Amino acid sequence: MRLKSAALFLVFATALAGCNDTLDSFDASSIKDKVQHPLPSRILAEMKAKGMERNSPIAIRIFKEEGVLEIWKAKTNNRFDKIAEYEICAWSGRLGPKIKEGDRQAPEGFYPLSPYHLNPNSKYFLAINTGYPNRYDQANGRNGSNLMIHGACSSSGCYSMTDAQVLEIYAFARDAFKGGQKNVQLQAFPFRMTAENMARHSHSPNYEFWQMLKVGYDNFEVTKRPPEVAVCDRKYVFNQQPEEGKTFNATSACPPMSTPPALQAALSSYNLAYARDFDKALKKYEGKIWYDPTEAERKAIVADKRKGHDLAYAPTGSALKAGKLLSIEEFNGRSSPAGSQSQAAASANLDRTATAPASESTATAATTPAATQTRVASVPVPQANPLAAPAPVAQAKKPFWKFWQK
């Protein structure tokens, strides 16, 4: 027993760059072929009820603070709807992006996943590589490797699920690729980017980075389609049409670009409601700072879940349950913890005015308050899902902005 514990400790201590070796707590003896294992009948029935083809495209959305991974799938009208939600068993670090190898941070951003990123032979049961670092990360000098969505419920920079969960997640991606999807978009966020949450985190040193991600978040909320992602001037841009003859370069200045008019109109009305809600939320949190808990503090609240499991089972718990609102005095009285949201940086951000809506880059957008739902419905519906019926051979693929033409 001592030898087993010592070996596990050594694995946990040395695996900082990618995902650590763990014991499998899932009995897979009943799974004859994990790679081709079909989705359960309950999910297939729900897909049919929602008007989804089995092999239609998917998108993966991750929300760290809430601790959930969502699968969204295209319906026959080419809009995406949520088909599954899973509680993330373990993610390491704190809220904020991954910066460098060994920082134990799980990545945040937009990542295109191809069939190449599927790993059927993973020692963590099954795995999907997040593709970190992407073009944005590389342009900003960020590095790291082997950042995965995988089983085994333990993480050193990854998003770890139970083996039963990753079996389904892998099947969703496999079926979408079989249907012809070239890239599955992974959207990894610190939290749901509502006006309330943006105001609560407005003192974070990561706030400006999150404002940039929020533009992509908002585009998805309005269109219910994964946004087209580009990188220029070391920044993300979403659903932008470059001037004819111009292209996007991750490290060069952004070319002249524009937002499709119908999309811009929807985002503008969306922003009006967001600005109102954000201002209201700022007043609510005036004089308060949200304390982002450490990984150890998250784990402390789920000690009971680990009872009866081996050491490999290490759920990290909800950052919402472990975090707390503190007065400025209480926050400054705490010792500065290691991590992305340091005491000094958060305190310095108290001087920053956060009165503008959280989307300040090109193609600005805001989150979906209930008051704007009826207005969003007026956005032109894109063409039907091309996987639902064979497309004419001679028809060239439309650029994304054509979907918004009336």
Catalytic center residues? 150, 158
**299 vs 334: CA distance, rounded Å:** 20
**260 vs 220: CA distance, rounded Å:** 14
**85 vs 69: CA distance, rounded Å:** 6
Structure-token pair, residue 325: 């609102």
